[in-house]
Amino acid sequence: MIKEVIVVEGRDDITAVKKAVDAEVIAVGGFGINKKVIDRIKEAQKRQGVIVLTDPDFAGEKIRRIISKRVQGIKHAYISQKDGIKDGDIGVENAEPDTIIKALECAKCENKEKREEFNVEDMIFFGLTGNNNSKRRRDILGKELGIGYCNTAQFLMRLNNYGITREEFIEAINKIDKEK
């Protein structure tokens, strides 16, 4: 499992990266990088480190520069145009898993043990799944912890992958419960 969070351009890139490695991945959605996405990347950098892996084209380099200006200390992984081309389309989504692994190794990615601090029982116990208010609670808690909104399975994965401690989690739960 890769320690750093990998930042890519889009959903197809997430699929390609997940075929190659076990890692948390954030898609920026192209040039429309908004404050919410930058804040998630900053939180990921603070907790786990970030590796940017964008397409080997003009747009990919521009996105890489935007992220680099706003988030300090990130690592960069690169694939060549030759390795990212398929039917005239250039992108990470076209790269073979071995190519992606090599690019991440060149960026000096770190491996980590799979962490399972939180489980489905925690999600149920704290009302983050299984009731009418769960979606709203995950949204509020995700903002409080800096991991964003997502479904239960993704939320659980982010809690574990971002290294959220039980203490931080309980503190955030108590805070959002007081604000109700």
Domains of the chain in start order, with CATH, are: 5-106 (3.40.1360.10), 120-178 (no CATH)
Instruction: Give me the mean pLDDT over the 41-60 stretch.
Output: 94
CA triple 17-63-73, angle to 5 deg: 80
User: What's the rounded mean pLDDT across residues 71-86?
Assistant: 94
Position 19 scores a pLDDT of 96
- The rounded distance, in Å, linking the Cα atoms of 73 and 86 is 32
Torsion of CA 65, 66, 67, 70, to 10 degrees: 120
Q: What are 164-174's pLDDT values in tens digits?
A: 999 999 999 99
CB atoms within 10 A of CB 158: 23
Region 78-85: mean pLDDT is 94
**What local confidence, expressed as pLDDT, does residue 161 receive?**
85
pLDDT at position 180: 65
* CA 3/CA 90 separation, integer angstroms: 27
Name which of 68-72, 79-83, 129-133, 160-164 the model is least confident about: 160-164
> What is the C-alpha separation between 17 and 8, in angstroms, rounded?
9
pTM for the full model?
0.80
